[in-house]
Structures are given as structure tokens and as C-alpha cells.
């Protein structure tokens, strides 16, 4: 039997759920994964390793996991020799400076001689060096947000997504250091195994089609024949729309695939042009 491709995903936390959903949307079935560190897909040559996100870049660099899903923030912080393959569009957050609510920080130079606590010392130090600022960086592995109230640091540099953690700790957002999202990374060392390479290419194709589908909607509507041309002009379709006859001879049905955001933009125009019964449906996959 040939070796399975191994993917590392976050065991617990913001990226776990969406990473599993992504695999599912690729038609990969993974059962009974709760509380397990390792599972094998039932219908694809894939093993899933559940790890702490901080450890994923290293596992991938060492080719223990061939690929992984991790935040760009972790990938950049670790600075290891892994290959970023594709941004996945979920897990969006920013690495930001957080300062006490009562403080003001108007210019980046005001960080001079301050103490900043962070779990991202590498990214922060690069940022400070780029801006020619001397500040003291204190590395903490977690609970960074309580450092200012404990008097350990003036400011923090941490991930912000909803902003609730900052608020709860009477901190506020200051400068944005890095925007991050989930990214698919790959080891540089398994390409010489043709089976693994083939499995990876197959998976990547499915991931790409799932990401494309996620942004698209399948729409249907009935339109008077007299306004058909006008309505086709309104629809920014992936391909030319399908026009189908209806039993009511004055009407035809239009089916098309469009970008989700566009759907909301053109809704009003469609109605004004006489379209009725406008439906939109999610799409599972688009293979172009």
C-alpha cells in the first residue's frame, strides 16, 4: 500500500473547525476525530494530524506532516523553511499593538524605550527594526493581554480578531503590524515521491474548486421574454447564462453562476427589469 499524504491542522482553536470544513467540502470523509491526534480519511489517501498551531510549521518543515493549515502569523513568526501554497480566506485576524485604553499613541516613534509583551517576538522585532525604534520586547507564550495591568509591559503586540480580548482587559487597538489568515503550507521534501505528489495535486485541485465555489452562487429567476436582453446584461455571469423555456410562453427562466457579492448588488436592478422568483443557492464545487 502506498503512503498516505499527511496534513497537520490545529487541534483546538480558531482554525480547527474551518479547516475540517474545508476538507469536508473537498469530499473527504473524516469520522470520529474528536479527542484524537491522528485519523485517516475513509475515502482519500490522507491522514490528519491534530497539533498545536505553533508546532505546525516545524512538523511541516521536517516533512513529518507533508502539508499543513496554519495562520500566516505563525508561519512568519517561526521563519522556517516551508512553502506557502495558498491563502484560504478564513481565520482572518491582525497582529496589532494593544495599548491601555487611557493611553494615546499617535506616532510610531513614541514606542521608543517602551516595553512590549508578545508571543510574536520575531515579527515584532522586525517591525521595530524597520521603523528604527529601540524598544524592549518581552516574550510570553500566552495571556499576553494581562501584561500591562500586571506592570510587566507598557504595551502588547497580539492577534486581534473580534477585539473582545483587548476590551476585556481594558486595552485598545493601536498600530496594525500584520494582516493574517489561514494558509496552506507544504514541505519542500516530499515532491520526489510520485504517489504523494499526485495525492497532493489532487487535493489542491479540490481545495481550489471549493474556494471558488464558496464565493459563488447559483441563481435562477423568471423573466419576461421582452426584457431578456436587458436582464442578461445585468448579470455578470461566470459563463453565459442558461435560458430555458417555461410553460407560460411570455416568460423564460434564466440560470447563472455569479459572485455572491454581485448577487446583492444586482438584485434591485433585476427586479426593476421585471425578473421574478429570484432564487440563489450555494454551490459545492466549481471545476473550471
From the list Zn ion, ligand PRP, none, pick the one residue 89 interacts with, judged by a Cβ distance below 5 to 8 Å according to partner type. Answer: none
From the list ligand PRP, Zn ion, none, pick the one residue 225 interacts with, judged by a Cβ distance below 5 to 8 Å according to partner type. Answer: none
Number of residues assigned to the chain: 288
Contact with Zn ion (CB under 5 A): which of 54, 58, 110, 269? Answer: 54
Helices 16-25 and 194-214: angle between axes, nearest 10 degrees: 100
**In the bound complex, what is the minimum distance in angstroms from residue 163's beta carbon to ligand PRP?**
5
Residues touching Zn ion: how many (CB under 5 A)?
2
Q: Does 51 bind ligand PRP (CB under 6 A)?
A: no
Complex with Zn ion: residue 44 or 120, whichever CB lies closer: 120
- Assigned C-alpha cell, 279: 432564487
Q: Does 53 bind ligand PRP (CB under 6 A)?
A: yes
- Assigned C-alpha cell, 109: 516613534
Closest CA relative to residue 275, chosen from 229, 206, 221: 221
Complex with ligand PRP: residue 30 or 166, whichever CB lies closer: 166
**In the bound complex, what is the minimum distance in angstroms from residue 91's beta carbon to ligand PRP?**
9
Bridge-based pairing state of the strands 93-100 and 67-71: unpaired
Q: Does 55 bind Zn ion (CB under 5 A)?
A: no
CA 62 to chain centre: 24
Alpha helices in the chain (DSSP H): 16-25, 56-61, 72-78, 121-130, 147-150, 164-168, 194-214, 228-234, 260-272
Place of cell 436582464: 231
Please report, as residue ranges, which positions from 156 to 175 form the binding site for ligand PRP (by CB under 6 A): 158-165
Q: Does 53 bind Zn ion (CB under 5 A)?
A: yes
Complex with Zn ion: residue 54 or 110, whichever CB lies closer: 54
Q: Which residues bind ligand PRP (CB under 6 A)?
A: 13-14, 53, 142, 158-165
Amino acid at each position: 500500500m502506498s503512503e498516505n499524504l499527511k496534513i497537520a491542522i490545529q487541534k483546538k482553536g480558531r482554525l480547527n473547525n474551518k479547516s475540517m470544513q474545508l476538507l469536508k467540502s473537498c469530499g473527504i470523509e473524516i469520522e470520529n476525530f474528536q479527542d484524537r491526534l491522528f485519523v485517516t480519511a475513509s475515502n482519500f489517501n490522507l491522514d490528519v494530524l491534530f497539533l498545536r498551531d505553533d508546532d505546525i510549521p516545524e512538523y511541516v518543515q521536517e516533512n513529518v506532516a507533508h502539508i499543513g493549515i496554519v495562520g500566516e502569523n505563525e508561519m512568519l513568526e517561526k521563519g522556517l523553511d516551508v512553502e506557502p501554497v495558498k491563502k484560504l480566506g478564513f481565520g482572518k485576524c491582525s497582529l496589532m499593538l494593544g495599548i491601555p485604553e487611557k493611553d494615546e499613541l499617535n506616532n510610531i516613534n513614541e514606542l521608543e524605550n517602551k516595553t512590549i509583551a508578545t508571543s510574536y517576538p520575531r515579527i515584532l522585532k522586525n517591525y521595530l527594526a524597520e521603523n528604527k525604534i529601540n524598544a524592549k520586547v518581552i516574550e510570553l507564550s500566552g495571556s499576553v493581554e494581562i501584561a500591562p495591568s500586571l506592570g510587566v509591559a507598557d504595551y502588547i503586540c497580539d492577534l486581534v480578531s473580534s477585539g473582545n480580548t483587548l476590551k476585556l482587559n481594558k486595552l485598545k487597538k493601536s498600530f496594525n503590524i500584520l494582516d493574517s489568515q489561514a494558509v496552506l503550507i507544504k514541505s519542500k521534501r516530499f515532491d520526489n515521491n510520485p504517489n504523494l505528489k499526485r495525492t497532493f495535486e489532487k487535493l489542491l485541485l479540490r481545495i481550489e474548486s471549493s474556494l471558488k465555489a464558496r464565493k459563488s452562487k447559483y441563481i435562477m429567476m423568471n423573466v419576461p421574454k421582452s426584457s431578456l436582453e436587458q436582464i442578461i446584461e445585468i448579470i455578470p455571469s461566470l459563463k453565459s447564462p442558461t435560458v430555458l423555456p417555461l410553460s407560460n410562453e411570455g416568460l423564460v427562466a434564466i440560470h447563472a453562476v455569479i459572485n455572491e457579492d454581485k448577487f446583492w448588488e444586482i438584485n434591485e436592478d433585476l427586479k426593476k427589469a421585471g425578473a421574478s422568483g429570484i432564487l440563489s443557492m450555494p454551490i459545492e464545487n466549481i471545476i473550471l
